[in-house]
Amino acid sequence: MNLWNLDSGLQRGVFVKPEFVAVAGDLASGTMLSQIMYWCRPDKTGATKLRVRRDGRAWIAKTSEEWCDECSITEKQFRRVVRHLQAAGFIERAIKQFHGGTMTHISLNEGALFAALQAHLSGLPKDQSEV
């Protein structure tokens, strides 16, 4: 066994897009925003992965512990990141009942994120924004 064999057997991972880090402002926020985008992105058939629909919106329902584990952040970072992403207008957060308990529900504000990404990309040199 060597490092490369071990690495290929690891099951989990988060693909963090640098643009999400840039618009979110820091690595923890960019990591969570990348995961929110993963869950909200349509699958190959165009169908949503999200099954929770409330108040006319699609929501990701996870406990804070699940978010922390998935994004490799602490509970303190999670609380700060959610407040930050909500203040930036990228997400809406609510605590709602789900499967017999309370869970953090997060809904992506696609318009606000799209506008921030466009503004960020327009600040890049032309050849980098087309990559």
State pLDDT tens for residues 12-65: 678 899 999 999 999 999 999 999 999 999 888 988 888 899 888 999 999 999
Residue pair 78/64 in contact (Cβ under 8 Å)? The answer is: yes
Question: Where is 38: in which H helix or E strand?
Answer: helix 27-40
Report pTM.
Answer: 0.82
Spans of all domains in the chain:
14-122
107: tokens are 């809904």
H helix count then E strand count, the chain: 7, 4
Residue partners of 60: CB distance under 8 A and separation at least 6: 36, 39, 40, 50, 52, 105, 106, 107
CATH code of the domain made up of 14-122: 1.10.10.10
